[in-house]
Structure 1
Amino acid sequence: MIHEADRKLVIQLIDEAVAAGARTFKCCEIVGISIRTLQRWRAGTTIDRRKGAPKWVANKLSPEIIDDVIQTACAPEYRNDTPMVLYVRLLEEHCYLASPRSIYRILKAHGLLKRRCNGAVPTPRRPPPERVATGPDQVWTWDITYMPMRVQGLFYYAYVFLDIWSRKIVGWQIHEKESPELASQCFERSVAKEGNRPQFLHSDNGNPMKGLSMLATLYRFGVIPSYSRPRVSNDNAYSESLFKTAKYVPHYPGYFESLSDARAWFADFVHWYNTKHRHSGIGYVTPEQRHTGADRQLFDERNRTLQYTRLFRPEIRRQLRDWVHIEKVVLNANVS
């Protein structure tokens, strides 16, 4: 790194050599710089602007002011004040040392900041568990959603199991209460109907999800339970998205007269969702098509149509994008 004084000396020596008849580029080669660098230095840009280079800060606090801040903050009458309170009190006493942020930064750099409450020290939240599915029946999620009765404040409860790979609803039941026993029964029937069990079953931290009956059933099937972080609904995003779809379809009644009405409506919804609903998250195919692998043929047909379109309409070929099969679905991807 060439200091500013050395750069000015290099410019002076090169000018003297050029005045004596030397070539500019030869002088630059001897010194070890390019002609563009010499031009930049002559234009007055002699300050090193590279990342990490020492910078001159016009309003940088002097060591004397830093010492004054430390001495004032440690004085008996100020030692229990926060940086903002210290700043305000000094202003009221017609004294300005530094901004509140500068005071905070100085005290932190010298280890003079301590917690002033009796609560536990905040700890960063652990990342949610990452679950990866590369095929059907690898990762399921499940949750319970409320289905309102006609009487305000009363609900039926829909237990819904979802395969994140295909977004297919692999099992569901509706009951009048929440319980681990009912959740366990629903899971057993879902496995029997699907003919396979998942490797992971993800849910939130509700009592039906962590009840002994449910945990015993998962242990018996060899399924690894996975849970969201406390009070973080986004960790179970696929189930939450499914519930929003269910409650925002045009034919959602809003409330249900009886348990049989709720079960009948939800059965129709599951049939529509699995076999007719073109899901945007899986390439606008139905969950059933993706679950069975029929989506690959549909993507091939779409891309074949796009290929013909590029031949006959070359003016729009750059606007056309091929459909790509999603090979991996991740629940709670850990972004590092």
Structure 2
Amino acid sequence: MRACRLVGRSRATHHRQAAPKPRMHGPWPKAQHPAELSPAERAEILSVLNRQDYANLSPTQVYVRELDEGRYWCSQRTMYRVLADAKMGGERRRQATHPTKVIPELMATKPCEVWSWDITKMRGPAKGIWYHAYVVLDIFSRYVVGWRIERIEDGQLAADLVQEIVAETGGNPPGYLHADGGAAMTSKALASMLVDMDITRSHSRAHTSNDNPFSEAQFKTMKYTSDYPERFDSVNEARTWMEGFTAYYNHEHRHSGIGYHTPASVHYGTAEDVREQRQHTLDRAYGAHPERFVRRPAAPPLPLKAAINDPAKRAAPSVHLQQPLRLI
């Protein structure tokens, strides 16, 4: 009997090993709740939420308005879930798209190729009273080619100023006139005048002061001058002060960006003679006492170009060299 039981058990074990039951591997199908919406119903609810007259409304607003029309689609919470599943939980209205702001890239290799201009405020005799200084300068020489001070900021005044400057320079307009995006800079009066004079206008990007660096630097030099008053008693006083400062800035101020020459010297082509004079003086000093110099002195070079957002600098990759660790 014992042998028979062993034999029977062995046969059963062999049978199980020979024909195992098939196993099911996931994923297991999700059981659908009786109250769950079908894909067709969800698509219909989504189309209702995205209707043109509902696109700017919240799902709660859509829910009650549909109830007022005698239609019930689902609960308010389900509407939110349908939008979330469709990744439309945010803004459903058509959004305005604006073109990417073009970075202004201007290059000048000599005077009267690119002018830059801007308007700065000057404090008047009392709080809330301001005078507006319109200043136009050549970016290559940093020479202030023209200015005016008025009680208001106006595009027609700016157009008249540019037209007067071109007439005083013998009818030789620049190729480009750069400014920021203020109301006077983008006015129709100035734009039409620039078209008539065949001057290409250029504008800075919004909230990007680096797009107009030359005018910003000139205003900083102006307002940090030692005799710049806290307030001006009248617009005539502001004009008188500006006239004296402009003469100093153009003919006496040695500008670091142009080899420490005056803007007038670079603008009118005498800077090369001045540099040679400086070099002769340095050569004499070196010849008299060479032991006082580490190397032969050289006068600062003249500028070769002036650029607003120089494309060569913007395209150059920044290389960071890792310095070896030195143990002391």
Identify which of structures 1 and 2 has the higher relative contact order when contacts are C-alpha pairs closer than 8 Å and 6+ apart.
Answer: 2
Q: How far does the alpha carbon of each residue in 1:134-164 deviate from its partner, in whole angstroms, 9 at most, with x for none?
A: 1111000000000111211220101110101
Q: Which residue of 2 is the match for residue 132 of structure 1? A: 107
Structure 1 residues 307 and 159: alpha-carbon distance in aligned structure 2, compared to 1, 3 A threshold:
same
Cα distance between partner residues in 2 of 1:181 and 1:191:
16
Aligned pair 1:247/2:207, yes or no?
no
The answer as to whether partners of 1:309 and 1:317 remain within 8 angstroms in 2 is no
Q: How far did residue 180 of structure 1 move? A: 0.7
Q: How far did residue 314 of structure 1 move? A: 2.6
Structure 1 residues 115 and 250: alpha-carbon distance in aligned structure 2, compared to 1, 3 A threshold:
farther
Cα distance between partner residues in 2 of 1:266 and 1:126:
35
Q: Which residue of 2 is the match for residue 310 of structure 1? A: 286
Tell me, what secondary structure is at the counterpart of 2:298?
coil
Identity of aligned residues (%): 39
Among 281, 295, 308, the alignment partner of 1:331 is 308
Larger Rg: 2
Q: Which residue of 1 is the match for residue 274 of structure 2? A: 298
Q: How far did residue 308 of structure 1 move? A: 2.9
Structure 1 residues 223 and 123: alpha-carbon distance in aligned structure 2, compared to 1, 3 A threshold:
closer
Aligned pair 1:225/2:225, yes or no?
no
Q: How far does the alpha carbon of each residue in 1:157-206 deviate from its partner, in whole angstroms, 9 at most, with x for none?
A: 01110101110110111111011111101111111122221100000000
Tell me, what secondary structure is at the counterpart of 2:229?
coil
Mapping for residues 155-194 of structure 1, pairs under 5 Å: 155-194=130-169
Cα distance between partner residues in 1 of 2:89 and 2:138:
48
Aligned pair 1:275/2:251, yes or no?
yes
The answer as to whether partners of 2:132 and 2:149 remain within 8 angstroms in 1 is yes
The answer as to whether partners of 1:310 and 1:317 remain within 8 angstroms in 2 is no
Gaps of 5+ in 2: 1-86, 316-328
Q: How far does the alpha carbon of each residue in 1:85-142 deviate from its partner, in whole angstroms, 9 at most, with x for none?
A: xxxxxxxxxxxxxxxxxxxxxxxxxxxxx99854979999756211111111100000
Gaps of 5+ in 1: 1-113
Cα distance between partner residues in 2 of 1:295 and 1:264:
28
Q: How far did residue 266 of structure 1 move? A: 0.7
The answer as to whether partners of 2:134 and 2:148 remain within 8 angstroms in 1 is yes
The answer as to whether partners of 1:203 and 1:236 remain within 8 angstroms in 2 is yes
Q: Which residue of 2 is the match for residue 203 of structure 1? A: 179
TM-score (norm. length: structure 2): 0.64
Tell me, what secondary structure is at the counterpart of 2:107?
strand
Cα distance between partner residues in 2 of 1:286 and 1:271:
11
The answer as to whether partners of 2:115 and 2:178 remain within 8 angstroms in 1 is yes
Structure 1 residues 215 and 314: alpha-carbon distance in aligned structure 2, compared to 1, 3 A threshold:
same
Once superposed, what is the RMSD of the aligned Cα atoms? 2.4
Cα distance between partner residues in 2 of 1:272 and 1:288:
10
Structure 1 residues 308 and 202: alpha-carbon distance in aligned structure 2, compared to 1, 3 A threshold:
same
The answer as to whether partners of 1:171 and 1:190 remain within 8 angstroms in 2 is yes
The answer as to whether partners of 2:109 and 2:306 remain within 8 angstroms in 1 is yes
Q: How far does the alpha carbon of each residue in 1:188-229 deviate from its partner, in whole angstroms, 9 at most, with x for none?
A: 111112222110000000010111100011001000000101
The answer as to whether partners of 1:139 and 1:165 remain within 8 angstroms in 2 is yes
The answer as to whether partners of 2:180 and 2:212 remain within 8 angstroms in 1 is yes
Cα distance between partner residues in 2 of 1:209 and 1:128:
17
Structure 1 residues 121 and 275: alpha-carbon distance in aligned structure 2, compared to 1, 3 A threshold:
same
Count of matched residue pairs: 223
